[in-house]
Each structure stands twice: as structure tokens, then as C-alpha cells.
Amino acid sequence: MIMRLMADRVNNLGPSVFAEINALARQHQAVNLGQGAPDFDAPPEVIQSAVEALRSGQTAWYAPSIGTPALRLAVAEHARGHYSQLVDPETDVLVVAGASLGVFYAILGLVNPGDEVIVFEPFFDTYVPNIEMAGAVPRYVTLHPPRWAFDPDELAGAFNSRTRAILVNTPHNPTGKVFSQEELALIAELCQRWDAIAIVDEVYEHLLYDGATHVRLATLPGMAERTVTLSSAGKTFGVTGFKIGWCIAPSTLLEGIRRVHEFSMFATAHPLQEAVATALAFPQSFYDDLRAFYGLRRDILLRIMHQAGLEVLLPDQLGAFYLVVDFSRVFSGDDLAFARHLVTAYGVACIPLTPFYSPDHRTEGQKLVRFTFCKREDTLRVAEERLSRLQARG
């Protein structure tokens, strides 16, 4: 008799494409423009706040399971200041170990086996495994290049009596798409028509370019009581290693998420929560400077892509810190082969897009890869020098 080594729910998972590409990049000392992890320091005030919290003698023990009072209040104040959203820090905020875990908790806490969850593809690679591990069924709606628009009729057709939730990521990873007010209004109308909830991942909420505007779905009419909003400190403040995120939802929805959190991780790092509370109190000038900081890097990467003969597929409004490109002019293989080739032959890493699609739609991403520009300027300059040979050599 052969012993079973793993549960069926994880039998078909991974390894993640990020694990493979990152390992290959390390092996070949490649410039890593794949994973969305900044290679520069966090704001000094945030680091200093974490140090002070560690030295205070007050943060060596567990934080309250729902999050420290300072951070929950900071999350609520941030929601009020940026979106005019009224959030009760005592009942409507839960601190979690990063937004990705928050998405998983929301699905586990609010979705039953057999329920359907609508997800836009290409999708961040944890979403569908999260849905399937909860015993639910993903229903896919495709974002079509080059503008990454969805068909309103396709979206409407995905909703039915089994729909429990729609998972929305805006600004969107991997495409950078910022969902418009009109698109979100349609999502809101369909959620209310079919009595569905919205789980919204907003980790890139402050990374916007050329006048793009982020609209919080929870603030649209009729959506406050049926929306779970997730965000984190990692992308905005350059502290991806902190893994501090939060859920905002009415207490009626948050209770299910809280129960999953309390009986799994229970609490997140106490001193880092204090540091993130400091970060969320930054003035508007910080966010203005942030857009300019990343806007410069976006422009550099755009130039690099054009010079290398890669076609950039830009949405109507760009956010996050990624560019998706079509490489078919310079390489005849598929996306995974191109990503491996780029690391081994040119010393630059990117992420292939087929893992962000459902099995039936993988061909949509076979000529596409994602690059990130959340890097130091000198990192991007090295990538530019290496990729300058790409078009000529093919």
C-alpha cells in the first residue's frame, strides 16, 4: 500500500511560475524585472517607526487578533481621507498578513463549496487556487488585449443563481488596467441583481499614471454592504517583506473572514503594524511624489521595451507597476520559452503570462510576458543595456 503524500486539494498546484523564474534569475545573475518586489529602501520614517516599536517594550507579544488599534484607526482614516468612505475601525477592519492571504480568508470565510466565483483573466496566480481550495467553482471573464477591456455581455452572462462572489483586482495585476467608473458600475449593478458580493484587491490603489483615477467599488451606491476591500502596505510603501495587509468590510461580512483568521494565523507582526500605521498617516504629497517616482520608471521601461522590439499592450488607464508586452516580433516560441531564453541569453527576467489564464484560454497568453518597473534607475539601466541586443539577435 502506497502512503498518500498530499491532499487532493493541492495535488495539482505549483510550483509557482514566480518560484521557477526567480530561481533561474538567481542562477544566471539576471536583472529581475519579473517579481513585483521593489529593490530600494522603504521610506526612512517607516523603518524608524518599526525600530522604535521594537525598542518600546510594548510589541514583543501578540497583537490583538483583529489588529492593533493604531493600525485599524489609520486604515479607517485613510479610507475617509482618500475615498470619503466611512469605516468603523472597531468593527469594519481586520489586519491580516498581506492582501493575498486576505483574499484567501475572504473566500474561505464567505464562499461555500459549490458556489461560483467570477474572476477576470489574466488573474493573479493565487486567486483560482484559493477558489478551488474552498471547493468553489471559478467562472472566467476575459480581459482582451490590447486595451484589456471585457465584454459587458460576457460579464453579465457569467452571473447566475450560483454566483456567490466576483473577485476584482484594480489596478490590475498583471495588465496594469485600472477599472473605470463605468465598468465598476456595471459590476455593482450585477452584484445587486444577483445578490453577490465583491471581493476587491486594491493593493496598487495609489500607483496611477497620466491622470488615471482609482474608484473604490465599495463607495458605489448599494455596494457598501456587499464589498470586501483588501489592500496592504507592501506595494505603496515598498515593504513587501512586512506582509501587513487589511480587510475592510461591514461587520456582517467581516465576521466570516475574522473567524478564518482567528483560527489560523490569529495575529500579525506587532511592531510592523505600528510602522504601517505611521506610513498610512503620510500627507498627500507622499502619494503625489510616489506617482512621479514610478512614472519616471514607467517611462524608462516603455523606452526599453520599444527599443527591444517588444509591443507594449497598454490599457486605457494604467496603474500598478507592470507592463505586458507581446514578444512575437523577436521570438518564435511560447511565453515560458521566451522567459527562460531572456534569462539565460540576456540576463533579464520577466514573467510568462499563460499561468495567469484558465486552461481553456492559455493560448491568449502564449505570446505575452510581464515586466515590472518597481526598480532602481540603475537596475533598469542595466536591463536596458542587456535588452538592447534583443531585437538584433532575435
pLDDT exceeds 80 at position 1? no
pLDDT exceeds 80 at position 259? yes
pLDDT exceeds 80 at position 392? no
Rounded percentage of the chain residues whose pLDDT exceeds 70: 99
State in words which class domain 11-42+285-393 has.
alpha beta
pLDDT exceeds 80 at position 394? no
pLDDT exceeds 50 at position 349? yes
pLDDT exceeds 90 at position 15? no
List of residues 6+ apart from 345 with CB closer than 8 A? 393
Cα torsion through 19, 24, 27, 32, rounded to 10 = -90
Whether residue 115 contacts residue 121, with contact meaning beta carbons closer than 8 Å, is answered with: no
Q: Which amino acid is at 65?
A: S
pLDDT exceeds 80 at position 365? yes
Write out pLDDT tens, residues 104-142: 999 999 999 999 999 999 999 999 999 999 999 999 999
C-alpha of 11 from chain center: 25
Give the containing element (helix H, strand E) for 78. Answer: helix 69-83
Rounded to whole angstroms, how far apart are CA atoms 271 and 71? Answer: 11
Give the containing element (helix H, strand E) for 46. Answer: helix 44-55
In order, the DSSP letters of 111-173 are: --TT-EEEEEES--TTHHHHHHHTT-EEEEEEPBTTTTB--HHHHHHH--TTEEEEEEESS-T
Average pLDDT of the chain?
A: 96
Give the pLDDT band of residue 14 (cuts 50, 70, 90): confident
C-alpha neighbours within 13 Å on the C-beta side of residue 271? 16
Specify the DSSP class assigned to residue 209: -
Write out pLDDT tens, residues 276-318: 999 999 999 999 999 999 999 999 999 999 999 999 999 999 9
Domain at 44-282: CATH code: 3.40.640.10
User: Average pLDDT of 23-47?
Assistant: 95
What is the b/e burial string over 255-294, where b = at least 16 CB atoms within 10 angstroms of the residue's CB? ebbbebbeeeeebbbbbbbbbbbbbbbbeeeebeebbeeb
Residue 219: its pLDDT value, please? 98
CA neighbor of 239 nearest in space, from 212, 268, 263: 268
Q: Of the given ranges (13-27, 115-129, 189-203, 230-244), which has the lowest mean pLDDT?
A: 13-27
Rounded to whole angstroms, how far apart are CA atoms 32 and 370? Answer: 11
Whether residue 201 contacts residue 230, with contact meaning beta carbons closer than 8 Å, is answered with: yes
At 101, list the grid cell: 492571504
**Torsion 351-355-361-363 (CA) sign:** positive
**Torsion 60-62-67-68 (CA) sign:** negative
Residue 13: its pLDDT value, please? 84
Domain with CATH 3.40.640.10 in the chain: 44-282
pLDDT exceeds 90 at position 356? yes
pLDDT exceeds 50 at position 388? yes
Write out pLDDT tens, residues 55-99: 999 999 999 999 999 999 999 999 999 999 999 999 999 999 999
User: Average pLDDT of 237-243?
Assistant: 96
Phi, psi of 360 (to 5 degrees): -70, -15
Rounded to whole angstroms, how far apart are CA atoms 362 and 357? Answer: 5
pLDDT exceeds 70 at position 144? yes
Residue 269: its pLDDT value, please? 96
Rounded to whole angstroms, how far apart are CA atoms 146 and 324? Answer: 9
Residue 330: its pLDDT value, please? 95
Domain with CATH 3.90.1150.10 in the chain: 11-42+285-393
Beta-strand ranges (E) seen in the chain are 31-32, 93-96, 116-121, 137-142, 163-169, 197-201, 227-232, 245-248, 311-312, 322-326, 348-349, 351-352, 368-372
pLDDT exceeds 60 at position 393? no
